[in-house]
Every structure is written in C-alpha cells, then in structure tokens.
Homo-oligomer: A and B are copies of this chain.
Amino acid sequence: MHAPHFTTDASSNGIRERDFTVGGVPGILWSPASGADRAPLVLMGHGGGHHKKHPAMAGRAQRLVTGGGFHVAVLDAPGHGDRPRSAEDEREIAALRGAQAAGEPEGPIVVRYNARLAQAAVPEWRAALDALQGLPEIGADGPVGYVGIGLGTAIGVPLVAVEPRITAAVYVCTWPDVLIEAAQRITVPIEFDLQWDDERIPREASLALFDAFASKEKTLHANAGMHLELPRFEADSAVRFFVRHLGGAVAPAA
C-alpha cells in the first residue's frame, strides 16, 4: 500500500488543504483545520475537462468540510489537471470538439471517452482510498462517501459498484448509456441530480439510470434548467445527505 505523499499543507478559513500523490496520481485533501478527531471521508470525482481544484470541487469541499466536518479528497482524472494527456486522449478530445463545432451528437464520443477513463480511474481511486484510510484522522474503518459530477459520475458508478467501503453516493448526471449494469449492482443510498431541461443528455436515459440503482434508499432531484444550471442548493442537499448516511454535524449555511 502506498501512503499518500503530501507536497503542500496550508490552512485558511478553518479548512486545511493538502496536495498529495498516491502512486503518481495527484490529489487534494481538504479537512477541518481544527480537527484531530476522526471524521468521515468524502471522495469527489470532477467533471470532464475540469480538475481536482476546479471551483465546482473547491466550493463543494468547503460546504462538506465546514457543514459536515468531513474530509474531502479529489484526484485528477486520467489526462486531466496535472496529469499528461495520451495521444488517444488528444484524438478523443479533438473528435469531441469537432462534433460540437459541427453540431453533431457528442454523446457517443463522451460515453466512449469517459468509459475508457473510468477503467483506469477505478483502481486509482481504490489505491487512494487505501492510502487515505492509513491516515489517523480518517482511519481504516471510517465511513466513506462519493460525489461525482459528469465524468466523476462515469467513474463513480463503476467504482461504487465494486468498492464496499463506499456506503453512500451523490451523482450529478452524465451520459448514462454504459452505466446501467454497474448501477444495478449498487445498493447503497443514492442522491441523483439531473437537469429536467438538459439539452445534451436525454431525460429518459437519465431517468432509466436512476431507475437502475438497486438501492433501497435513492432520491432523484430533478431541477428545471439546462445542463450547466444545477442549482447551488443541491450542493447543500448533498452535505445533508452525507450527514444522514455517514454521520457528522450540519452547520448553518454561510
């Protein structure tokens, strides 16, 4: 087992931020600055084209750390953030840009690209979880959750399907096509966000993915609005979801 190799350590506004690598994969760990006690860990998978410190990640991490007292870890996905792109990554991204520019369907390209990245990312996440659970403030038997956005959902559905240590997950919808089978193997509580007027992902396909989860407790939050218009109150809802399922204490929203 690799221990996380920490490269930075800074605290501000009550949040401790540490860059690390595990087996060469760069990540970030946000924690309560005050906390010496153990706290649950929430893993977050960033969206396609984003990276571990994208504002969508930093903003959710801030809410999870200050609102729930959680540790929050994000890894750069393969070919994202501080990681090099392969020739195949470059070809796929060029094909995607080409399809978008031509007004052609992007779904088939994104689905193929995300599925390839997920295959690489799932073992990286499991190794990172091994390493993070070696830290005394997280521990080997503490509760673990997962939040995925877009690509982070494409990685997180197969990850949670095979990783019994993750006991609750929030997914912000991505192209659901190849995820149904993995979703059918997931039984932990799920909160699933989709945009009702998504101009890129077909509504029926997203509803079918929600339907596929075998979880006894699952909640769909469908909000009016387009692909990029997920309301910010859903990030607060995710904090409450993890407080319910992982434990922790909700502080009033800032």
**Which of A90-98, A160-168, A209-217 contacts its partner?**
A209-217
Given A250-B252, A252-B250, CB of A224 within 8 Å of CB of B216: yes
Name A220's contact: one of B222, B231, B233, B237 (CB within 8 Å): B222
Interface 1/0 per residue, A198-215 and B, CB below 8 Å: 000000000100110001
Given A233-B244, A250-B252, A252-B250, CB of A220 within 8 Å of CB of B221: yes
Q: Does A184 contact B (CB under 8 A)?
A: no
User: Nearest Cβ distance between residue A240 and chain B, in whole angstroms?
Assistant: 8
Contact, CB under 8 Å: B219 / A221: yes
Nearest neighbor of A240 in chain B, beta-carbon distance? B233
Q: Does A16 contact B (CB under 8 A)?
A: no
Most chain-B CB neighbours within 10 Å: which of A218, A219, A252?
A219
User: Nearest Cβ distance between residue A18 and chain B, in whole angstroms?
Assistant: 30
User: Nearest Cβ distance between residue A170 and chain B, in whole angstroms?
Assistant: 14
Q: CA–CA, A207 to B206, complex, Å?
A: 13
Contact, CB under 8 Å: B223 / A218: yes
User: Nearest Cβ distance between residue A131 and chain B, in whole angstroms?
Assistant: 34
Contact, CB under 8 Å: A222 / B219: yes
Contact, CB under 8 Å: B224 / A218: yes
Q: CA–CA, A237 to B250, complex, Å?
A: 14
Q: Does A196 contact B (CB under 8 A)?
A: yes
Q: CA–CA, A131 to B215, complex, Å?
A: 47
Q: Which residues of A contact B (CB under 8 A)?
A: 196, 207, 210-211, 215-224, 231, 233, 237, 240, 244, 250, 252
Query: What are 29 A-to-B residue pairs whose CB atoms are below 8 Å?
Result: A196-B210, A196-B211, A196-B218, A196-B220, A207-B207, A210-B222, A215-B224, A216-B224, A217-B223, A217-B224, A217-B231, A218-B223, A218-B224, A219-B221, A219-B222, A219-B223, A219-B224, A219-B231, A220-B220, A220-B221, A220-B222, A220-B223, A221-B221, A222-B222, A233-B240, A233-B244, A237-B237, A250-B252, A252-B252
Give me the 7 closest cross-chain CB pairs, A-B, nearest first.
A220-B222, A218-B224, A219-B223, A217-B224, A221-B221, A219-B221, A216-B224
